[in-house]
Amino acid sequence: MTKAVQGDGLELARARYGLLAVVSSNLAIVVVAIIGVWRLNGDTSVVVAVLTAAFTAVSSMTTAYLGIKAVSNTARSLARRSPEE
């Protein structure tokens, strides 16, 4: 039982720090995009390109994290099943 508790604590720490990494990366991308748009002084075509790239980066990072987390959770629940099931 102790190993399961330690494993759950480890998994919780991985989830927290993984989410922290994704959120901080997304915030960094947003800050860089805001600074880039601010420095461009209204050149609409370049602003659209910067915002599109920032949106793509944020959505890709978030989707990758959620996908990896879902697969990890599924694999973990399948590994915990007993062989009789």
Q: Structure pTM?
A: 0.75
Tokens encoding 15: 């989830």
Label residue 3 by pLDDT band (50, 70, 90): low
Tokens 């989707």 sit on residue: 63
- Chain segment 31-84, per-residue pLDDT in tens: 999 998 888 887 788 889 999 999 999 999 999 999 999 998 888 888 877 666
Q: What is the predicted pLDDT for the residue at 10?
A: 82
What Å distances lie between residue 16 and 27, 54, 64, 69, CA to CA? 16, 24, 15, 11
* Cβ atoms within 10 Å of 26's Cβ, excluding its own: 17
Contacts of 33 (CB under 8 A, 6+ apart): 50, 51, 53, 54
